[in-house]
Structures are given as structure tokens and as C-alpha cells.
Chain A
Amino acid sequence: DGGITQSPKYLFRKEGQNVTLSCEQNLNHDAMYWYRQDPGQGLRLIYYSQIVNDFQKGDIAEGYSVSREKKESFPLTVTSAQKNPTAFYLCASRGRDRGGNTEAFFGQGTRLTVV
């Protein structure tokens, strides 16, 4: 089935360690996005990529890094520079249809806890 896969669902890391969250899509979408969700904060955009080998900072990019070497994959690294990394992370992708740009299709999310 077509969709977006985020792994793992739950992730625990020690403070000061970098950690990489995986996001894979088989929808043939050009655009991919990473969001962070905290209680009462909604979804805040970390990075997005409109096409392979290109990405743009979102509203809260500090302490995060991404790569887009393949169309299907958009991994997010949470670095030790991120001061408060514990959160729910959501990956999404978008394509195009007859109506123009599509809605975002979301993965199931990764809940990262840093201890």
C-alpha cells in the first residue's frame, strides 16, 4: 500500500546524543516535511524539501538537520544542539493532482524522549 512510514514509533535517547528519525514514502511525492508537535503548540515546521537534493528551513530549524538524497527518503537528525528535543515528530509528503498541490499525507509519528 502507498503511504508514509516513520520509524521507530518510540525512541529514547540520552541527553547529548544525536538521533536520526526515519521517514520513507512510496507515493512518488516531490515534497516532504518534518513537523514537531508539543502540547498546545500545534504543528511547527522544522524543515521541508520541495525536491531531491534541496531543502528549506522551517520555523524551528535550530538544532536539527536533514538530507534529501533520494525522493523517497527524508531523514531528520536531532542534534545535541537542540535544547528541548523531547516531542512528537511527524513527517509528511505532498504531490500534485488535477486540483493542484495536494494535501499533506502524514506518517504515524515518532515520539522521542530524551532522558
Chain B
Amino acid sequence: AQKVTQAQTEISVVEKEDVTLDCVYETRDTTYYLFWYKQPPSGELVFLIRRNSFDEQNEISGRYSWNFQKSTSSFNFTITASQVVDSAVYFCALSEARVSGANSKLTFGKGITLSVRP
């Protein structure tokens, strides 16, 4: 069984603060994919990042960075110098990989509501 836990439900910060969104996952597979999505108030889901389980290199994209730690089954997301436009719900997701290559079940966490105040 696979599971994604986002223990933080709501976070509120002042603009320009750094904020880290936590994601802890559970899977019995050794090969899997992890994702982060953003859902602004408009409702559409915006893809942010995909990470394969065999690639533990951390990634930085502008003000966004991701820390993947297999030892603690965590895939945390940090926003540096937050802005009001970062206000949204953020979801972490997990999908186990199949030997056949077929796409399998994709499980989401409950999401973290981030509010960035001016």
C-alpha cells in the first residue's frame, strides 16, 4: 500500500519569509515517483516537479527547492522569499513504478494551504 502524509494543514507567513512544506511517504516498492503540485484559488492543478526514487539529488528552480531524503522517506518543498502569489494549496503525490512501465496508482496527500500575507 502507498500513502502520502502532509502533516501541516495550514501555514501562514509574511511575504519574503522562507517556508518549508513537509511530505512523508510510505511505499513497499523500491522504485517510485514523487511529485509536487500547486492548486491556486482558481482550482487548476499546476505541476511543479517529478522525482524518480533512484535520483536523490536535490533540485532548485528559482525560489523553489526540493529536498529528497530516502532514509527518512521525505520529499520536502521550500519556497524562499515567499510572495503573495505563492498562496495556494500544495499537494505531494506518490506513484509506484511497474516493471512493465505502465502507469500505476497515483496517491495524493491531503494538501497544505499556504497563505502569504503582504
Range, interface on chain A: 20 to 34
Residue on B with the closest CB to A107? B44
**A48 adjacent to B35 (CB under 8 Å):** no
Q: In this complex, what residue of B is CB-closest to A41?
A: B110
Q: How far apart sit A40 and B89, CA to CA, in the bound complex (Å)?
A: 10
**By the criterion of a CB under 8 Å from any partner CB, how many residues of chain B are at the interface?**
25
Known: A40-B9, A100-B97, A103-B50. A56 touches B105 (CB 8 A): yes
Contacts of A67 in B (CB 8 A): none
Residue of A nearest to B54 (CB): A100
Which of A29, A88, A99, A101 has the most CB atoms of chain B within a 10 A radius of its CB?
A101
Please, how many angstroms separate the alpha-carbon atoms of A59 and B95 in the complex?
A: 14
Instruction: Mark B97-118 against chain A: 1 for CB-CB distance below 8 A, else 0.
Output: 1000111111111110000000
Q: How far apart are the CA atoms of A95 and B111 in the complex, in Å? A: 24
Indicate if the CB atoms of B44 and A106 lie closer than 8 Å.
Answer: yes
B108 in contact with A50 (CB, 8 Å): no
Q: In the complex where A42-B110, A99-B50, A106-B45 touch, is A30 in contact with B35 (Cβ < 8 A)?
A: no
